[in-house]
Structure 1
Amino acid sequence: MHIDLVDRDRYATSGPPHEQLAWLRANSPVHWHDGEPGFWAVTRYEDVVHVSRHSDLFSSSKKLALFEELPEDQIALQRLMMLNQDPPEHTRRRSLVNRGFTPRTIGALEQHIRDICDDLLDKCSGEVDFVTEVSAPLPLYVICELLGAPATDRDKLFSWSNRMIGAQDPDYASTPDEGSGAAMEVYAYANELAAQRRATPKNDIITKLLQPDEKGETLGEDEFDLFVLLLIVAGNETTRNAASGGMLTLFDHPDQWDRLVADPTLARTAADEIVRWVSPVNLFRRTSMADQVLGGQEIKDGDKVVVFYSSANRDASVFPDPDVFDIGRTPNTHIGFGGGGAHFCLGNHLAKLELRVLFEQLARRRPRIRQAGPARRLRSNFINGIKELPVTIA
C-alpha cells in the first residue's frame, strides 16, 4: 500500500487517510515514513500513549511539537510556549496556568455556555453555515469570557486563529508570512490586555495569571504572550472543529442523531465519542532523545517521531467496533486530548463542557436541523478541520 500520511490535499478532500492508518496499525505500527526529513509514524494506541507519557525520551522542546521544520532562531522563541516545552520547564509553567482552569472555575461557566448556545441558535434560521454561525463563535465567546475581553473581539480572534492554523490553506493565508503576522498581532493584543489588568484587576483568568502564585512566581512577558496565543488557537480550534466534525458525523449517522434527540442527556457520552471519531488534532511531533526501541523498531537519538491520534482512536485493541460511531459508547478512553503525560490538554474539561451543552441544546431546540450542502475541509494535516458546513435550521 502507498503510504502518505501528510498529504494536505488528501485531508482537504476526504479527511484523515483511515485506510492507510488501519493498514499501518496491523502491519507496521511504528513505520518509517519518507519525507524531508523522514520520520517515524506511530499509529497504535499503546505506542502513542507511551510516547506521550515519556517526555524524557520523546521531547517536545528539541525540535518543537508541530510537524513543520523551523529555523533555529524561530525554534528558540517557540520554546517559550508550553506546547514546546519538556519538564521541568513545562511543569513550572503549567502549575502557574492551572490556576485559571480548575474544575470549579470551569464548572461555573456551564450556565454561561448554555446561554451562549441558546443565543447562537436563536439567531439561526433557514440556511446558514454551521461553522461561522455556531461552532466557531461558541469557543470564541468563551475565550473572550476567560480573557475578560469584550465579546466583539471574537472576530479578531477568529481571524488570527485561521491565519495561524490555516497557513497551508489558500482560503486563510495568501503567503507563508501570514501566520507569523497574525502571531505578532496576538502578542500586541496580549500586552494590551496585561496592561489593562495590571491597572484594573478583574475576576478573570488574565488577572489570575498576572498575579504571583503561592511561591511568588509569575509568568514573564513573553511567556504570557505565548500563553494567550496558545489559548486563542488551542481553545478555539479543538472545540470548533470537534463541534463542526461532530455535526457532520451526526448527519452521516442519522440513527445516532435520532437517539440524541430522543434523549438529549446522551450529549455527555456523545461529546467524548465525537472527539474520538473526529480527533480534531490529528498529530503531534516529538524528537527521540536516545537510541531506543518502540514497536519493535530501532529509533535513533534525534529521529523525528510523529504520533497520530486519528489512528490511535480507531485502534480495535482498545475500542470495540472502532469504526462504528456510537454516541452512547462507554467506557471511552479516547486520546483526542492527548495520550496523557505532561501535555494532556489543559482545557479538556472546558472543551467537553462546551460540546456537551452545544449538542444537548441542538437536540432539544433544533431537532430538525439538516445538512444543506457539502462540507469543505481545511487543507491541513495537523487540524482535522471543517471550514464550511451548510445547514438548514427550521
Structure 2
Amino acid sequence: MLVDLVDQDRYADSGPPHEQLRWLREHDPVHWHPGEPGFWAVTRYDDVVHVSRHSELFSSSRRLALFNEMPEEQRAMQRLMMLNQDPPEHTRRRSLVNRGFTPRTMNALEPHIRDICDDLLDKCSGEVDFVTEIAAPLPLYVICELLGAPVADRDKVFTWSNKMIGAQDPDYAASPDEGGAAAMEVYAYANQLAAQRRGAPRNDIVTKLIQPDENGETLDENEFDLFVLLLVVAGNETTRNAASGGMLTLFDHPDQWSRLVADPALSRTAADEIVRWVSPVNLFRRTATADLMLSGQQIRENDKVVVFYSSANRDSSAFAQPHTFDIGRDPNPHIGFGGGGAHFCLGNHLAKLELRVLFEQLAVRFPRLRQTGEVRRLRSNFINGIKELPVRLN
C-alpha cells in the first residue's frame, strides 16, 4: 500500500487517512515514512502510550513536539512552552499552572458553561453554520471566562488561533508568517492581562498564575505569555473541532443522535466517544534520545518519531468494535487527550465538560437538528478540523 500520512490536501478532502492507518496497525505499526526528514509513524495504541509515557526516551524538547521542522533559534524560544518541554522543567512548569486547573475550579465553571450554551443557542434559529455560530464561540467564551478577559475579545482570540493553527490553510492565513504575527499579538495581550491583575487582582486564572506558589515559585513573563498562547490554541481548537466533528459524526450516525435525544444524560459518555472518534489532535512528534527498539524496529538517537492518536483510538486491541461509533461506550480508554505521561492534556476535564453540556442542550432543545450542506475541512495534518458545517436547528 502507498502510504502518505501527511498530505494536507488529503486531510482537507476527507480527514485522517483511516484505511492507511488501519493497514499500518495490522502490518507495519512502527513504519518508516519518507520525508524531509523521514520519520517513524507509530500507529498502535500500546506503542503510542509507551512513547507518551517515556519522556526520557522520546523527547518533546530536542526538536519540539510539533511535526514541522524549525531552525534552532526558533526552537529555543518554543522550549519555553510546556508543550515543548521534558521533565524536570516540564514538571516544574506544570505544577505552577495546575493551580488554575484544579477539579474544584473546573467544576465551578459548569453553571457558566451552561449559561454560555444557553446564550449561544438562544441566538440561533433556522439555518446557521454550526462551526462559527456554536462550536467556535463556546470555547472562546470559556477561555475569556478563565482569563477574566472581556467576552468582547473572543473574536480576536478566534482570529489569532485560526492563523496559528491554519497557517497552511488559505482561508485562515495567507502565509506562515501570519501565524508568527498572531503569536506576537497574543504575547502582547497576555502582558496586558498580567499587568492589569498585578494592579487589581481577581479570582481568575491570570491572578493565580502571576502570584508565587507556596514555595515562592512563579511564572516569569515569557513563561506566562507562552502559557496564554497555549491556552488560546489548545483551549479553543480541540474543543471547537471535537464539537463540530462530533456533530458531523452524529449526522453520519442518526441512530446515535436518536439515542441522545431520547436520553440526553448519555452526553456524559458521548463526550468521550466523540473525542475518541474525532481525535481532534491527529498527531504529535517526539525525538528519540537514544538507540532503542519499538515493536521490533530499530530506532536511532535523534530519529523523528510521530504518534498518531487518530490511529490509536481505533485500535482493535484497545477497543471492542473500534469502527463503531457508540455514544454509550463504557469503558472508553481513548487517548484523544494524549497517551498519558507528562503531556496528558491539562484541560481534559474542562473540554469534556464543555462537550457534555453542549450536546445535552442540543439534544433537548433541537431534536430535529439536521445537516443542510457540505462540510469543509481544515487543510492540516495536525488538527482534525472543520471550517464549515451548515445545519438547520428547527
Q: TM-score normalised by the shorter chain: which range applies? A: over 0.9
Distance in 2 of aligned mates of 1:3 and 1:321:
24
Give the Å deviation of 1:298: 0.2
1:390 equivalent in structure 2: 390
Give the Å deviation of 1:176: 1.7
1:259 equivalent in structure 2: 259
1:161 equivalent in structure 2: 161
The runs of 5 or more residues in structure 1 that have no matched partner are: none
2:143 equivalent in structure 1: 143
2:235 equivalent in structure 1: 235
2:131 equivalent in structure 1: 131
- 1:108-160 per-residue CA deviation (whole Å, 9 max, x = no partner) reads 01011011111111111111000000000000000000000010000000000
The runs of 5 or more residues in structure 2 that have no matched partner are: none
The letter of the residue matching 2:63 is K
Secondary structure of 2:323's aligned partner: coil
TM-score relative to the length of structure 1? 1.00
Distance in 2 of aligned mates of 1:63 and 1:175:
23
The letter of the residue matching 2:62 is K
1:281 equivalent in structure 2: 281
Distance in 2 of aligned mates of 1:148 and 1:109:
13
1:82 equivalent in structure 2: 82
The letter of the residue matching 1:237 is E
The letter of the residue matching 2:167 is A
Structure 1 residue 310 corresponds to structure 2 residue 327:
no
Distance in 1 of aligned mates of 2:195 and 2:315:
48
Distance in 1 of aligned mates of 2:393 and 2:237:
24
TM-score relative to the length of structure 2? 1.00
Q: Percent identity?
A: 82
Distance in 2 of aligned mates of 1:126 and 1:359:
18
2:31 equivalent in structure 1: 31
1:346 equivalent in structure 2: 346
1:177 equivalent in structure 2: 177
2:268 equivalent in structure 1: 268
- 1:25-47 per-residue CA deviation (whole Å, 9 max, x = no partner) reads 00000000000000000000000
Runs of 4+ residues over 4 Å off in structure 1: none
Distance in 2 of aligned mates of 1:34 and 1:244:
32
Give the Å deviation of 1:330: 0.6
Distance in 2 of aligned mates of 1:374 and 1:325:
21
The letter of the residue matching 1:203 is N
Distance in 2 of aligned mates of 1:197 and 1:119:
28
Distance in 2 of aligned mates of 1:275 and 1:167:
24
Give the Å deviation of 1:284: 0.1
- 1:353-377 per-residue CA deviation (whole Å, 9 max, x = no partner) reads 0000000000011111110101100
Distance in 2 of aligned mates of 1:348 and 1:138:
15
2:108 equivalent in structure 1: 108
Give the Å deviation of 1:175: 1.2
1:47 equivalent in structure 2: 47
Distance in 2 of aligned mates of 1:295 and 1:378:
32
The total of aligned residue pairs comes to 394
Distance in 2 of aligned mates of 1:320 and 1:294:
25
